[in-house]
Homo-oligomer: A and B are copies of this chain.
Amino acid sequence: MTISKLEYDKRLVKVRERMSVQGLSGILVCDPANLYYLIGYNAWSFYTPQFLFVPIEGNLIFFAREMDARGAFHTAWLSQESVVGYPETYVHRTDRHPFDWAGAVLRDQGCLDSGSRVGVELDAHFFSPKAYFSLVAALPEWELVDSRDLVNWVRLVKSPSEIDLMRAAATVTNAAMQAAIEHIRVGARQCDVAAQISRAQCSGTAKYGGDYPAIVPMLPTGEAASAPHLTWTNREFVDDEAVVVEIAGVHQRYHAPLARTIMLGRPSAALQSLAAATGEGIEAVLGTVRAGISARELASVWNAEISKHGLEKASRIGYSIGIGYPPDWGERTVSLRVEEDTVLQENMTFHLICGMWMDNYGYEVSEPIRVTVDGVEIFTDVPRGLISKGVRS
């Protein structure tokens, strides 16, 4: 399973159509997920500045640190002459920025006319204000404007190949969640459980090799389960505490995230009723998902269902997923919430996540899903509901 050159061509066409609509003569792309989507480039090089120049017509140019540029052909389809390495003397210097150099190269090449409107990813991870100011200074004839996550929005509806990759990722998710369920037990250290989950994520299955997740295993436990993004400690699990597990399986950078809550011993009455209410909420949403429904309507169904139990949730119940790089496996486009008007289309994919964080406990259940013409495909295959590891005698 690989993405064909034809599919990369189609992606570029869609991006350029959107550029045309937004009146952009070019865009500069920094987001690693967008780079992977457009040219297949895949390396842990995003801690130093890099960008892809996409003109409305003509050749793409990818700028990366010299040591990374020379190996870009291992993963990207771009010809080696379209990959330009900036000198090592620009790395982590206080008096200069790599984009001073890259901007000067772009200007020398006269790629675009003076006065061209060029989009930059003003709210992307790994695009700093200093990087932006370097480009502004190096390319004074260009008008740099916010591309408004242009490529991210093109990624929203998945192709059949992408769906296949997400199904493959979900088989890794299943294995990783089984590892969590198997190894979470009273007396086990949190770090040793995280190790088993991580091992399963990296290995993947016999058929589909695993990849690193954009977010490490989350294991908030006991009272810490009231906060969703705490990572593990070396503390041992104890009896009568609940463990929230939020993880993703990954294949070729496509993610299928999943959350479950595992109970060691006897759940409190409060946790049991929270789990039941949340379960009814997620079932109601899953029963409503189909092409033509808006994100707002899904959120309303959720709100109506949990309000029957006297509950409310301030945060969104999901977000678009696909390709992911640290620090996030979300695409930063559509969120499932009442403020979101986007109408769901076939082959949009979401992490539907119903996380309820109370004062001193929490409960999460989620599914990675695909919107179909008349319903929903759930990628993973793990029973929903509070997972009990049994009561010790």
Contact = CB atoms under 8 A, between A and B. Distances in A.
Interface in A180-233: 189-192, 194-196, 198-204, 208-212, 215-216, 218, 220, 223-224, 226-233
B74 A227 contact: yes
Nearest to A355: B67
A225 to B, nearest CB: 9
A310 interface: no
Contacts of A40: none
Q: Which of A93, A191, A232 has the most CB of B within 10 A?
A: A191
A227 B128 contact: no
A66 B129 contact: no
Contacts of A203: 189, 191-192, 194-195
A45 interface: yes
Contacts of A97: 123
A4 interface: no
Contacts of A224: 71, 74
A124 interface: yes
Contacts of A228: 67-68, 71
A51 interface: no
A161 interface: no
B126 A129 contact: no
9 contacts: A43-B229, A47-B327, A67-B314, A71-B357, A91-B315, A122-B133, A129-B132, A190-B209, A191-B211
